[in-house]
Amino acid sequence: MLVFDHIAVSAETLADGVAWVEDCLGVALAGGGQHPHMSTHNRLLGLGDLYLEVIAADPAAPRPSWPRWFDLDRFAGPPRLTNWVARCEEIVAEVALSPPGTGVPVALARGDFRWRMAVPGDGILPFDGAFPALIEWQGSAHPAPRLPDAGVRLTCLTLIHPQSDALRVALAGRMADPRVVIEQGPEKAMQAEFTTPHGRRLL
C-alpha cells in the first residue's frame, strides 16, 4: 500500500518558492536543508500527518551528472505545485507494480533522516509527474512530526490529467487517501486546498 507522504512545490530559486508559498498560505516555512546527491535544497511546512516541500536547484552545489528529481532541470516559470510523494514499506516491490518510468530506488540521507526514493532516469515521473514519487523511509525519523504546527492542513489534492482513467488504474487498490482526487483535463495540472488560520487557501 501507498501512504500520502508530502507535496512538492518547485521553483527556479528557493527564495522565490518560499516567498510564494508563504504569501499564498499566510504562514512561515521552517526546516529543510541540502540534498548533495541531487544538488537541490528545500524548505518545509508541517501539515499534520503530511508536509509541504519547496524545492529548487542549489546554485552553490555542482550540477550532478544525472537528471535531478521532479524534473527540476527543465523547470521554468513561477513557483508552482508540481509533484506529490507517497511512502511505502517495500519500495522495490512498489516500483515493480508501478508504471514504467517510476524510477530506480536511490539511497539518500540528510542529518538523521535516511530514505530510499525512486528517481526516474530522465527525472520525469509517469503521467507528466501526476504519478507520485515513491519513498521508503528508513527507521522512524520523519520530517512531519518535527516541524512546527502552523495550523495548516491539506484538505484536497486534485490531480488533473488527460489520461485520468489510466492514472486511477495505476493507483487502484494502492492509494486510499480521500484527500487525493483525480480529474480529467486537457493537460497535467495540480491544485492543493488547505485550511489555515486565515481561512481556505489554494496552491
Q: Give pLDDT tens digits along the chain (203 positions).
A: 999 999 999 999 999 999 999 999 999 999 888 888 899 999 999 999 999 999 999 999 999 998 999 999 999 999 999 999 999 999 999 999 999 999 999 998 888 888 999 999 999 999 999 999 999 999 888 989 999 999 999 999 999 999 999 999 999 999 999 999 999 999 999 999 999 999 999 99
The fold adopted by the segment(s) 3-146 is 2,3-Dihydroxybiphenyl 1,2-Dioxygenase; domain 1 (3.10.180)
Q: What is the pLDDT of residue 21?
A: 98
Angle of CA points 43, 111, 40, to nearest 5°: 40
Show the cell assigned to 92: 522495490
Q: What is the pLDDT of residue 124?
A: 93
Query: What is the rounded CA–CA span in Å between residue 57 and residue 75?
Result: 10
Helix or strand or coil: residue 93?
A: helix
- The pTM score is 0.94
The one-character DSSP state at 73 is G
Residue with cell 516491490: 93
Query: What is the rounded CA–CA span in Å between residue 21 and residue 135?
Result: 23
Q: Could you state, in order of their start, the residue ranges of all structural domains in the chain?
A: 3-146
